[in-house]
Amino acid sequence: MKKRITLSHRVTISMRLLAALAIFSGAKSINAQDGGPLDVIPPEYVAQIPPDVLAQLQARADASGGRAALTTAAIFGLSTLGGRTIGSGGGPPGNAGAGKLTDVPIANTTFEEDEPMVAANPKDKKFLVAGSHKIGFFPGQGFRVRCAAYASSDRGATWSAGVLLQQIQGQCSDPVVAYAPDGRRAYYAYMDVFSQLTFPLGRPTITERFDILVSHSDDNGATWSAPVVALAGQALILKFSPFQIVQPGFDYDKPWINTHMDRGESNWVYVTATRFNNFTPGLSPIAIHFTRSDNGGASFAAPATLENASGNVVIQGSHPAGGVGGDVLVAWEERQVIRSRGHVRSRGGRRNGLLRVAVLPGAARILRTLVGRHVPIAGHRRGRRRAYRLYPRSSESTNAGRLCQRRKWGYPVHQQ
């Protein structure tokens, strides 16, 4: 879920580097593994964007977060995220003298590495894979936001130098890793973030598209396959002088990938993400999408929509979880964004936000595994297909501890 954004000094540096990408427009073509250009709209063209269009782009960036939000802000010339000026954060220093576990460097380079994740082989815990961004200037490529994978075969005591994940046409964001339940394959889901400024017939044109990719490794993270598109966005094309929306589109953000608990279900892989609408008629502003693969990530089915949201409602942070016997559960968060006097605040979050849970097709028995003891648990009856809307237990929530249900797969569940 996208939360209030407090940008650190490291992120501030990244934003300056992203803004500098404008000088690379028209750079020489590079191969897909290196990633493509990430051009930003120059200020003189940003000034041509109508206020209502810019407001929608701002709302989309506010609803997003992390690296993807910073990238969106850089592309479209936005100076704030979530009502805060980009780069205005920092916060108090940490307590360096506090007790902590022994730190083992996974990646210790001159690049900026952030948004890490680690997964353990469920059948042999000495094998670990980790993923993170790797951000900086690459020889022969210029500035790039890439994703890297690291491997350990000694329970995390030492780590490999890292492998850069391949891109299809853009750059990387939001890395997530997971293992198949039999331990034979590891998966890496990430974004392919593309924007390019061109001048066909002398007219400035920006093309932007965010997809979700999945790569896999059959040697515990030593090597990784070429990526497969799990969720394909649709390119947004804008022209300037004068301003024109040539092609509306939609982007995918905040992917998550997971597998099953059962070794007998090792071929199944599940991916969820948030779909943001970029002016496409008939689409809700935000939706949670779900897709699955039954062949170990070689291909993915057409996405299913788990919920649509509009108005001041933001849905984000979806996580799929595979249980026993083919059951799948997806959880995500819903919050209301309230704009007042230039500030944005959330009604929701841990204390009184709504936790959305969809069971595909039914097993509430795995609910506890995902969300723990903070929500009520429902029983599973004769394989009926249900989706659940759950409220966290909180003294500040009038719906604390309540559970409502609808016996229909794949639809948002409303209070009854």
pLDDT at position 178 over 80: yes
Report pLDDT digits (tens) over 375-416: 222 333 333 333 333 333 333 333 322 323 333 333 333 222
Alpha-carbon separation of residue 139 from 136, 142, 143, 144 (angstroms): 10, 7, 9, 10
C-alpha 72/C-alpha 2 separation (Å) is 14
Residue 250: predicted pLDDT = 97
Tell me the backbone φ, ψ of residue 170, rounded to 5 degrees: -125, -145
The upper half-sphere exposure of residue 92, i.e. CA atoms within 13 Å in the direction of its Cβ, equals 3
Percent of the chain with pLDDT over 90: 46
C-alpha 112/C-alpha 138 separation (Å) is 12
Identify the CA nearest to 87 among candidates 14, 7, 10, 21. Answer: 7
- Residue type, position 371, single letter: V
C-alpha 308/C-alpha 411 separation (Å) is 9
Residue 194: predicted pLDDT = 94
- Burial letters for 61-78: b for 16+ Cβ neighbours within 10 Å, e otherwise? bbbbbbbbbbbbbbbbbb
Residue 415: predicted pLDDT = 28
Report pLDDT digits (tens) over 91-101: 555 555 555 56
The residue that leads in pLDDT, 18 or 122, is: 122
Identify the CA nearest to 208 among candidates 250, 176, 159. Answer: 250
Q: How many helices (H) and strands (E) does the chain have?
A: 5, 22
Residue 342 tokens read as 């230039």
Residue 377: predicted pLDDT = 27
The arithmetic mean of pLDDT across residues 328-338, rounded, is 77
Residue 348: predicted pLDDT = 36
Give me the count of residues in the chain. Answer: 416
The residue that leads in pLDDT, 261 or 211, is: 211
Cβ atoms of residues 302 and 290 within 8 Å: no
C-alpha 132/C-alpha 67 separation (Å) is 11
The arithmetic mean of pLDDT across residues 173-179, rounded, is 96
- Burial letters for 375-412: b for 16+ Cβ neighbours within 10 Å, e otherwise? bbebebeeeeebbbbbbbeeeeeebeeebebeeeeeeb
C-alpha 312/C-alpha 337 separation (Å) is 5
CB-count burial class (<10 Å; 0-12, 13-18, 19+) for 342: exposed
Alpha-carbon torsion (194, 245, 44, 285), positive or negative: negative
Residue 352: predicted pLDDT = 31
Residue 274: predicted pLDDT = 96
pLDDT at position 154 over 70: yes
The residue that leads in pLDDT, 276 or 39, is: 276
Cβ atoms of residues 148 and 160 within 8 Å: no
pTM reported for the whole predicted model? 0.76
Domain spans of the chain?
Answer: 9-91+105-310
Residue 395: predicted pLDDT = 30
* Topology given in CATH for the domain delimited by 9-91+105-310: Neuraminidase (2.120.10)
